[in-house]
């Protein structure tokens, strides 16, 4: 892949991740699902501890988070992507993130960590998330 194509791919992958954060926070679930491959694998862990949540498949991912956030508020900030290309049509990306969530009255948290994602480029050129692992490094409860 030449340098110009690499930079274009990095930009497009960043846009996909931005849509992931924005559409989730806006609860636009049908559009949000389009950032994933149909067979996406999603995990949430805590530091070096055990995996807390594992979800397989685009439809299951959307259904899980739609239900988990139905009465809550989420606000994601993703920063400083480190994107590499193992092949012409796959990418690996690490993103530092901060999350503010209000999961109900008196249940507010701020979370810091790393997203560890694999992306795949479809035949039509669109990039989608194929594997997503959220590694939570710190969780602070926020007083209401």
**pLDDT tens track for 108-131:** 889 999 999 999 999 999 999 999
| pLDDT of 142 | 85
Query: What are the boundaries of each domain within the chain?
Result: 3-142
More confident residue, 138 or 59: 59
Would you say residue 26 has pLDDT above 70?
yes
- Quote the mean pLDDT of the chain: 93
DSSP secondary structure of the chain: --HHHHHHHHHHHHHHHHHHHHHHHTT-HHHHHTTEEEEEEEEEEETTS-EEEEEESHHHHHHHHHHHTTT-EEEEEEEEEEEEEEETTEEEEEEEEEEEEE-STT-EEEEEEEEEEEEEE-TTS-EEEEEEEEEEEEEEEE--
Q: Which whole number is the average pLDDT over 95-101? A: 95
Question: Class for domain 3-142, per CATH?
Answer: alpha beta
| pLDDT of 112 | 94
Q: Which whole number is the average pLDDT over 27-43? A: 97
Residue 96 banded pLDDT, cuts 50, 70, 90:
very high
Residue 94 banded pLDDT, cuts 50, 70, 90:
very high
């Amino acid at each position: 892949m030449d340098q110009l194509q690499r930079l274009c791919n990095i930009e497009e992958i960043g846009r996909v991740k931005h849509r992931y954060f924005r559409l989730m926070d806006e609860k636009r679930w049908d559009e949000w699902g389009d950032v994933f491959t149909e067979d996406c694998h999603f995990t949430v862990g805590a530091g070096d501890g055990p995996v807390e949540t594992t979800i397989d498949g685009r439809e299951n991912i959307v259904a899980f988070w739609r239900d988990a956030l139905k009465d809550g508020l989420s606000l994601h900030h993703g920063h400083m992507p480190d994107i590499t290309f193992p092949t012409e049509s796959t990418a690996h990306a690490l993103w530092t993130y901060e999350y503010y969530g209000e999961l109900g009255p008196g249940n507010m948290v701020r979370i810091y960590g790393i997203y560890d994602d694999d992306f795949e480029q479809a035949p039509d050129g669109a990039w989608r998330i194929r594997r997503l692992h959220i590694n939570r490094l710190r969780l602070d409860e926020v007083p209401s």
